Structure 1
Amino acid sequence: MGLDNLSADIEERYADLGDELTVDLDSETRNELAMLESAYDPDGTDELVRRAVHMLFQTAVETGNLDFHLRSGYDVTYDEYLMDMTMDSFNQQQGFPQPDTNDDRRYQF
């Protein structure tokens, strides 16, 4: 797999989601959602679900969990997806790794 496969899968799943999503809730999730709705008093339950998705996504990015799963399934990271190029391609484009140079003065004071 790779970056092209990830992009194609995201586009396909985005289209499949549409504008509305029906989710079956178990009793624990229903209880937690009711608690959050009581505490935050949002305009609607939909707002809490949107916040939950944003929070899960942000946490997954910050902890590296998203990168772990993307690397496992697609051999790319979220940063590579955002750049639309793998780090190997980026490094080759930038001329890295640099060829060995004779830097005898590196450790002189």
Structure 2
Amino acid sequence: MGLEDLSDDIETAYSDLGEELSVDLDTETRNELAMLQSAYEPDDPDELVRRAVHMLFQTAIETGNLDFHLRSGYDVTYDEYLSGMTFEEMGGGSDLFGQNDDNARRYQF
């Protein structure tokens, strides 16, 4: 699996999610959400769920947890996904520009 597989899977998951998501709450989650709703008083409890997803995503990036899972499943990192190319391609390790001889590769950065 690689960068194209990850992009395809993200596009599929994005379209499958749609605009709304119904989530079943267990007792612990309902209790925590009620506490957060009482403390933050959002207009809609959905706002807290959106914030939670943003926070989980940011934490996963900062701790390297997202990269670990992406590397394990797709052999790419989040930075590679964002740039649209692997580190090997960025470093000239593949035939990205159609140049096969070693002298031509000397000038790739």
TM-score by length of 1: 0.85
Write the distance in 1 (CA, Å) between the matches of 2:38 and 2:69: 34
Who is 2:73 aligned against?
A: 73
Who is 1:107 aligned against?
A: none
Write the distance in 2 (CA, Å) between the matches of 1:62 and 1:45: 26
Map 1:16-55 onto structure 2 (within 5 A): 16-55=16-55
Where structure 2 has 5 or more consecutive residues not aligned to the other structure, the ranges are 97-106
Cα RMSD (Å) of the superposition? Answer: 1.2
Which amino acid counterpart does residue 4 of structure 1 have in structure 2? E
Task: Compute the displacement of 1:95 (Å).
Answer: 2.9
Task: Compute the displacement of 1:8 (Å).
Answer: 0.2
Task: Compute the displacement of 1:59 (Å).
Answer: 0.3
TM-score by length of 2: 0.85
Higher Cα radius of gyration: 1
Write the distance in 1 (CA, Å) between the matches of 2:53 and 2:46: 11
Q: Following TM superposition, where does structure 1 have runs of at least 4 consecutive aligned residues deviating by more than 6 angstroms?
A: none
